[in-house]
Chains A and B, each alone.
Chain A
Amino acid sequence: MHRKVPVQTTINGEPVEFLCEPRQSLLECLRDVIGLTGTKEGCNDGNCGACTVLMDGRIVNSCLVLGVEAQGAQITTVEGIARGNQLHPVQQAFLQNAALQCGFCTPGFIVAAKALLDQEPAPSEERIRLWLANNLCRCTGYDKIVRAVEQAAQELREVKA
């Protein structure tokens, strides 16, 4: 058993302090230590994207980040995408298009798609597919996911205009 170290971080806008072993991944800290289980483990080796979170504005596979690396960082998980009961346009678009089936990969897709639209208001279909190529989905064939992200982008542009 390794000595635990304290980590101070910000998760979904709230300051959070937790203890973890130095070898624990951010994914495990989120799920097992902090109790935010929306982020999923699909492979634990950086190949499926189910554990995607935002860290200081960049998307990361939280299974490949150590918990201690969250010190001083701003983390956003799927639980922090909606504002209270107000769904994010990406979530709305997933809902309207039924862009999910079993839902296991969905948190990763939603976080990744939000990150894309935060940076690029009008991504092409090709750009969306490339951006989401880090996230595996076995149910949907990606068709409706790509459509949902296109629709969310349009929605966000209309809100801003």
Chain B
Amino acid sequence: MSMATTVTKAETLVGRRLRRKEDPRLITGTATYVDDIQMPGMHYAAILRSPHAAARIRSLNVQPALDHPGVAAVFTGADVAGVGPVPCGASLPGLRVPAHSVLARDRVYFVGHPVAVVVATDRYVAADALDLIEVEYQPLPAVANPEKALEPGAPAVHPEWPDNLAFTYHQEGGEPDRAFAEADVVVRQRIISQRLIPTAMETRGVVADYRGAEKSLTIYSSTQIPHLMRSLVAQMLGLAENRLRVITPEVGGGFGSKLNVYAEEALMGFVAMKIGKPVKWIESRRENFQCTIHGRGHVDYYEIAARKDGAVLGLRLKLIQDLGAYHQLLTPAIPTLSVLMMPGLYKFRNVSADILGVFTNCVPTDAYRGAGRPEATHGVERMMDLLAAELRMDPAELRLLNFIGADEFPYATATGLSYDSGNYAEPLKKALDLVDYHRLREQQQQAKASGRLVGIGISTYGEICAFGPSPATPAGGWESATVKIEPSGAVTVMTGASPHGQGEETTFAQIAADELGVPIEDVIVVHGDTAIVQYGIGTFGSRGTAVGGPAVYYALQDLKAKILKFGELLLESSDVTFSGGVCTCNRTGKTVTLAQIAAASYRAMKLPPNTEPGLVATHFWEPPNFAFPFGAHIVVSEVDPETGQVEIKRYVAVDDCGKIINPLLVDGQVHGGVVQGLGQALFEQAVYDQDGQLVTGELMDYAVPKATMVPWIESDHTTTPSPVNPLGVKGVGEAGTIGCSPAVVNSVVDALGHLGVRHLDMPLTPEKLWKLIQAGGQA
């Protein structure tokens, strides 16, 4: 039963289904998340938040809270005037950036907007005292819908910008006007990618600990980006960067929602410095829904131009992005990713896109698993199905006809990208074989003839990941690694990526164990502490392995070169090879082990020429390009005409994420990604009412998929190595989410096509489908 994790040295560990090194602490309840940290004298913060989507703060009296026993301090917007604004890292020409203070000043802009912070000796006391703060609000008209916000006379989210436009952005390639003029067929559709709530199972949380005598602040935060957070929070607080240490303990899921710097991180730092005691703030689930970024939030107007034979000619997009009230770290940049990926896997030579970035009185949107690419894939894959229906072509054939050819890589897209490698027909053909497509179509016809609503949906997706070359990213796009071999021969890998569930403690150990020829048990991977780990960027955008992995690989190469030098010295030979953890003299056959070399390198009785003592190497790896994974997902669904409920009968995912380091972990990424896509397709939607109240404010109202709501995922792969990095990996964290939603919607539209249904917007709730079926397909 037990699966061996130690293998003989000749076998490589890369490519094997190894158990995760992370898991023993996680399955026994001994891992430390931020809320598990306790310190002597620790205080607890609670935050008063606006109940209004838009209001003027007429008066604010915190004295009754201050008088409450156990309350140490209360801070309001006036107190934190010296704290810098919540940072926006994205820049676009003409971008309007609203002033974003860590606590509201005289006005609030969304429900949940932080107004004051109470600090007390106890979590309950802090919560009790919140109720004692007296705030007089003057409610103002609010707008929560981005299309309504664009109408003349709509309430202005920020009074200084009455049109509610944060930016417009235009991009085009080729000759879109000509393509549309010359087309035989043009199909148009408005497509919504609804607002979603990321819902990491661990909410956000911060512990801040200031040591006045050392003038040093330590912030423990559940984040995906410890180093970037250190730089940005140090700036907000006016601290020298070396006086701030950010520690990322175990992180209970992020999905992009923790790829950010929020008001609370700087606020808790400020509080700790003011009261001279450690302070903890743990976000409640309601706060998480109201105040942590949301994802998606698109209204897209698509037009596709094609010839009669199905060859696509052009694609146009008007993209209305609901930004919310402020820009968080990457808010305005996310829809630009949709534009970059709008051509999908197809030979669209002529494209045009316009983004309207719109302020609303809602919490900001930002990166949520897939970040702009699920929206793009949903758009182009829906449009391909609409075109197939228009031309009465099979949707699989239409895709195969229009794919970029396997011999055309690197492929320069009309949106300015260079797709690294691909063979797009291969996963689709494999998926079609797995479902026995032609037979399935026959079975579907029989089922439909007997009144059953069975549909087959295909989605073939491409995604941009492994962010990315530094010139194309808001911060640096590189990643770093240090590999240390201790005098005993034990190996420590320090990665600047900050994994939080993806499993790089295992995959990076696999890479290091292979390269050094040591057992995987001898390798530990350290991350998430800015005082220990060299500067790094973080884990997001499917970059952990694809950018962090090569950094580890190159650090290991540097180290191996040094090991060889010491091997030559110790073996007194210039003809030495290092393999399997041993340096061998090829003439005498004499050997010296890595542990002996390590000991000698630190003892330093003798050193090779021009060589420093010790065995440590650091590498900062700058990727030359993004990587572009792809794949094909096929869904067979059946709609119950009595209830409108969608049952997923089969879910087949064939993904190509380049070379696979650990298939067990890749499966997990695919499963989890697909189920988040199913959440969008079938269940989830962040609903604000017209006054800007978040109606789906807790887990009772927001339908995160449960075990009973999802099918088995049949996962398979094709392997097209990426030429971008030496490992040939591409990234897989977001693929499932990107590929999923159009496959599901295409299947349900297919199931209801005979009723005249040609498009459905997500989520495909039973209520929506039941009404549609009752009305004979007329929305």
Contact = CB atoms under 8 A, between A and B. Distances in A.
Contacts of B667: 143-144
Residue from the set A35, A45, A101, A104 with the largest chain B CB neighbour count within 10 Å: A101
A16 interface: no
Nearest to B677: A141
B19 interface: yes
A143 B28 contact: no
Given A82-B28, A101-B503, A21 B676 contact: no
Contacts of B19: 95-96, 98
A74 interface: no
A1 B125 contact: yes
B558 interface: no
B185 interface: no
Contacts of A96: 1-3, 19
A105 interface: yes
B671 A43 contact: no
Given A47-B699, A48-B201, A142-B675, A102 B29 contact: no
Given A103-B22, A104-B253, A141-B710, A41 B35 contact: yes
A144 B700 contact: no
A138 B29 contact: no
A32 B200 CA distance: 22
Contact of A142 (B3, B70, B710): B710
Given A98-B664, A129-B708, A136-B706, A103 B28 contact: no
B202 A143 contact: no
Contact of A139 (B1, B203, B285, B672): B672
Contact of A103 (B252, B665, B674): B252
Contact of A138 (B27, B255, B712): B255
A104 B284 contact: no
A43 B698 contact: yes
Interface string A18-44: 000101100010011001111111111
Contact of B29 (A77, A100, A105, A135): A77
A50 B201 contact: yes
A21 B253 CA distance: 32
Interface string A130-161: 10110111111111111000000001000000
Nearest to A77: B29
A87 B707 contact: no
B502 interface: yes
A48 B699 contact: yes
A94 B19 CA distance: 10
Nearest to A23: B124
B201 A138 contact: yes
Contact of A146 (B2, B35, B124, B707): B707
Majority-rule SS of B interface residues: loop
A31 B20 CA distance: 26
B545 to A, nearest CB: 14
B766 interface: no
B124 A21 contact: yes
Main secondary structure of the interface of A (DSSP, over half): loop
B29 A39 contact: yes
A110 B665 CA distance: 20
A101 B675 contact: no
A144 B668 contact: yes
B202 A78 contact: no
A102 B32 CA distance: 12
Contacts of B708: 129-130, 133
B31 interface: yes
A1 B69 contact: yes
Contacts of B69: 1
Contacts of A37: 29, 32, 35-36
A94 B99 CA distance: 47
**Which of B250, B255, B501 has the most A CB atoms < 10 Å from its CB?**
B501
A38 B250 CA distance: 12
Contacts of A136: 201, 699, 704, 706
**Max chain A CB contacts within 10 Å: which of B26, B33, B38, B707?**
B707
A126 B482 CA distance: 47
A50 B494 CA distance: 30
B200 A138 contact: yes
B199 interface: yes
B23 interface: yes
B564 interface: no
Interface residues of B, number: 65
Nearest to A144: B668
B651 to A, nearest CB: 10
B700 A104 contact: no
B214 to A, nearest CB: 28
Contacts of A81: 28
Nearest to A2: B124
B710 A102 contact: no
Given A103-B22, A133-B706, A139-B253, A95 B29 contact: no
Contact of B23 (A24, A45, A98, A104): A98
A41 B285 CA distance: 9
A107 B29 CA distance: 6
B527 interface: no
Nearest to A38: B29
A98 B665 contact: yes
A1 B70 contact: yes
A100 B700 contact: no
A105 B201 contact: yes
A42 B202 contact: yes
A130 to B, nearest CB: 6
B675 A102 contact: no
Nearest to A88: B27
B500 interface: yes
A68 to B, nearest CB: 15
A45 B19 CA distance: 34
B712 A143 contact: yes
Contacts of A35: 38
Contacts of A62: none
A43 B23 CA distance: 23
A40 B668 CA distance: 22
Nearest to A146: B707
Contact of A102 (B27, B28, B200, B706): B200
A101 B27 contact: no
B713 interface: yes
Given A40-B252, A87-B27, A101-B668, A47 B700 contact: yes
A139 B1 CA distance: 26
A103 B31 contact: yes
Interface in B24-50: 24-33, 35-36, 38
A132 B676 contact: no
B29 A78 contact: yes
B425 interface: no
A87 to B, nearest CB: 7
A39 B69 CA distance: 30
Contact of A95 (B23, B284, B710): B23
A23 to B, nearest CB: 7
Contact of A43 (B122, B285, B712): B285
A106 interface: yes
A1 B68 CA distance: 10
B454 interface: no
**What 9 pairs between A and B have smallest CB-CB spacing?**
A38-B29, A104-B252, A103-B26, A102-B501, A141-B675, A141-B671, A78-B29, A47-B699, A101-B501
30 contacts: A28-B123, A31-B36, A32-B123, A40-B202, A42-B202, A45-B698, A48-B201, A78-B29, A87-B28, A98-B20, A98-B665, A101-B502, A102-B253, A102-B500, A103-B22, A103-B23, A103-B27, A105-B252, A107-B29, A128-B707, A129-B708, A138-B200, A139-B253, A139-B672, A141-B672, A141-B675, A141-B710, A142-B707, A144-B668, A146-B707
Interface of B: 1-3, 19-20, 22-33, 35-36, 38, 69-70, 122-125, 199-203, 250-253, 255, 282, 284-285, 500-503, 664-665, 667-668, 671-676, 698-700, 704-708, 710, 712-713, 736
Given A38-B29, A101-B253, 10 more contacts: A36-B29, A40-B202, A40-B252, A42-B201, A47-B698, A77-B29, A96-B2, A102-B250, A110-B27, A137-B707
